């Protein structure tokens, strides 16, 4: 039985990845932070077979303790402060967790391997946010990185540190440069889920309007369930490498609104949407669209869920959740 250790187990991707690995017969360990994490209940209910270990990416000794229990064949580093807007408000903390946390994770793996002789494969959750002010369209593995947020800068640090550990110590360390991926499990602070939840509530008469920032930004949005498969595939390769994971299609926030409102039969959303400066960012990533040809050729990976289907799935799930919460039959 293969063993896997996941940081960020309580996040969107952690849950999908744990499900995937359990379905493949893995023993799965997940790192959970805090003395009373509110997501523990959800994790224990949805994935009772995951063994929870406590620790924090900013605390190397806690990672080493977790390693000595998990003894994993595969280490997936998904833990991060992942909300770009928040990273300007807490730039130092974001650098500690999203940047230095990667160094701690790599060190925990390197020291564990040196002490036990065990081989551990490492996955780093890099991000298309690293492309920032994009220098080529579409973006691929060779595109110059030009991050536009403290989060993006921290991810660039983690990305290059992962490559450095591969080159310095011969570690099987791979980075997935994943473009935006969404699902009904997406945090409500991110724009797709903020919209799907608000649209569900508006159609049920529970909310009047949604307040947003920049409607012109364009993102390459895929389905999280497809993207965790790519993470696993990277660690099954003989050689470690870096891969862009994307759909190759880009949509603006306006198009997201078109699809989300259409899912509840509203075809002119203008009276339901308000703009608010508070949701504008000090520096924006205007356009992301990825070229995942390398992953498609070498990993045999390809996305299966199209954007309209993804947004309809999210609105549908939010309708069910909001009806339940409001006691609507
Ligand atoms: P998410 O839902 O925000 O989950 C983040 C996870 O990190 C949570 O489990 C969180 O735990 C954990 N975490 C936060 N601070 C931590 C700390 N100090 N120590 C240990 N764990 C900590 O993010 P996601 O969407 O699943 O994304 C997973 C990873 O992929 C992240 O690294 C993200 O930056 C990266 N990424 C995501 C996307 C995307 O579109 N989703 C695209 C590219 C890259 P709590 O529950 O305790 O807060
Ligand atoms: O949904 P978002 O907050 O995601 P963002 O900033 O693209 O970051 C996500 O994807 C990255 C990969 O590229 C990940 F690395 C990162 O961890 C995260 O998962 O915002 C998407 C776009 C932005 O251009 C933002 O300005 O939507 C725009 N937007 C407009 N109004 C809004 C809003 N975003 C949010 N969150 N809330 C708004 O009201």
Per residue in 196-246, pLDDT (tens digit) is 999 999 999 999 999 999 999 999 999 999 999 999 999 999 999 999 999
Is ligand 2 within 6 A of the CB of residue 217?
Answer: yes
Is 272 annotated as catalytic?
no
One domain, residues 150 and 132 = yes
Q: Is 200 left (phi over 0), alpha (psi -120 to 50) or beta?
A: alpha
Spacing, Cα 264 to ligand 1 middle (Å) = 30
From CA 82, how far away is CA 69, in angstroms rounded? 27
> Is residue 97 domain-resident?
yes
> Is residue 293 domain-resident?
no
Is ligand 1 within 6 A of the CB of residue 175?
Answer: no
> Is residue 130 domain-resident?
yes
Check residue 300 and give its pLDDT.
98
Check residue 289 and give its pLDDT.
98
Spacing, Cα 224 to ligand 2 middle (Å) = 15
Is ligand 1 within 6 A of the CB of residue 81?
Answer: yes
Spacing, Cα 191 to ligand 2 middle (Å) = 6
Indicate the length of the chain as a whole number. Answer: 329
> Is residue 270 domain-resident?
yes
One domain, residues 156 and 168 = yes
Check residue 32 and give its pLDDT.
98
Check residue 321 and give its pLDDT.
98
Check residue 33 and give its pLDDT.
97
> Is residue 298 domain-resident?
no
One domain, residues 240 and 144 = yes
Check residue 152 and give its pLDDT.
98
Q: Which residues of the chain have pLDDT under 50?
A: none
Is 151 annotated as catalytic?
yes
Nearest to 4 by CA among 299, 235, 245, 298: 235
Spacing, Cα 293 to ligand 1 middle (Å) = 26
Is ligand 1 within 6 A of the CB of residue 187?
Answer: yes
One domain, residues 153 and 64 = yes
CA dihedral 192, 219, 282, 84 (to 10 degrees): 60
Q: How many domains does the chain have?
A: 2
From CA 151, how far away is CA 85, in angstroms rounded? 9
Query: What CATH number is attached to the domain comprising 269?
Result: 3.90.25.10
Given the residues 74, 129, 182, 229, the one annotated as active site: 129
Is 127 annotated as catalytic?
yes
One domain, residues 10 and 143 = yes
Q: Is 51 left (phi over 0), alpha (psi -120 to 50) or beta?
A: beta
Query: Residue written as tokens 């473009």?
Result: 179
User: 3-state class of 55 per DSSP?
Assistant: coil
> Is residue 67 domain-resident?
yes
Domain that holds residue 271: 191-219+249-288+307-326
From CA 5, how far away is CA 28, in angstroms rounded? 6
Residue 97 and residue 57 in contact, taking contact as beta carbons nearer than 8 Å: yes
> Is residue 26 domain-resident?
yes
From CA 95, how far away is CA 322, in angstroms rounded? 35
From CA 137, how far away is CA 248, in angstroms rounded? 10
One domain, residues 215 and 133 = no
Choose the residue to mutate in 5, 13, 132 for probing ligand 1, maximizing ligand atoms within 8 Å of C-beta. Answer: 13
Q: How many CA atoms lie within 13 A of 233 on its CB side?
A: 19
- Write the DSSP symbol of residue 141: T
From CA 143, how far away is CA 137, in angstroms rounded? 9
Distance of CA 275 to the CA centre of its chain: 26
Q: Do the strands 218-219 and 251-252 form a parallel or antiparallel pair, or are they unpaired?
A: antiparallel
Check residue 202 and give its pLDDT.
98
Nearest-CA residue for ligand 1 atom 35 is 125
């Amino acid at each position: 039985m293969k063993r896997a250790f996941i940081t960020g187990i309580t996040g969107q991707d952690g849950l999908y990845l744990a499900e995937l690995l359990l379905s493949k017969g893995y023993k799965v360990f997940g790192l959970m932070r805090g003395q009373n994490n509110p997501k523990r209940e959800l994790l224990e209910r949805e994935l009772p077979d995951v063994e929870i270990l406590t620790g924090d990416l900013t605390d190397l000794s806690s990672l080493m303790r977790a390693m000595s229990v998990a003894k994993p064949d595969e280490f997936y580093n998904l833990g991060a402060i992942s909300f770009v807007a928040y990273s300007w408000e807490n730039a130092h903390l974001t650098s500690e967790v999203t940047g230095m946390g990667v160094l701690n994770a790599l060190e925990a793996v390197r020291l564990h391997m040196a002490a036990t002789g065990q081989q551990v494969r490492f996955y780093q959750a890099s991000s298309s946010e690293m492309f920032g002010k994009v220098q080529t369209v579409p973006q691929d593995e060779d595109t110059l990185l030009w991050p536009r947020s403290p989060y993006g800068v921290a991810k660039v640090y983690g990305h290059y540190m992962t490559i450095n550990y591969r080159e310095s110590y011969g570690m099987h360390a791979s980075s997935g440069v994943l473009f935006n991926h969404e699902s009904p499990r997406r945090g409500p602070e991110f724009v797709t889920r903020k919209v799907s939840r608000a649209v569900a509530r508006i159609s049920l008469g529970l909310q009047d309007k949604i307040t947003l920032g920049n409607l012109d930004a364009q993102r390459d949005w895929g389905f999280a369930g497809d993207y965790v498969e790519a993470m696993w595939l990277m660690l099954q390769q003989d050689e470690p490498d870096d891969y862009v994971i994307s759909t190759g299609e880009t949509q603006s926030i306006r198009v997201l609104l078109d699809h989300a409102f259409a899912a509840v039969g509203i075809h002119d959303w203008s009276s339901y949407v308000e703009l608010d400066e508070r949701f504008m960012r000090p520096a924006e990533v205007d356009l992301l669209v990825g070229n995942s040809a390398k992953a498609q050729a070498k990993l045999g990976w390809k996305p299966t869920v199209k954007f309209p289907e993804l947004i309809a799935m999210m609105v549908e799930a939010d309708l069910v959740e909001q009806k339940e919460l409001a006691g609507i039959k």
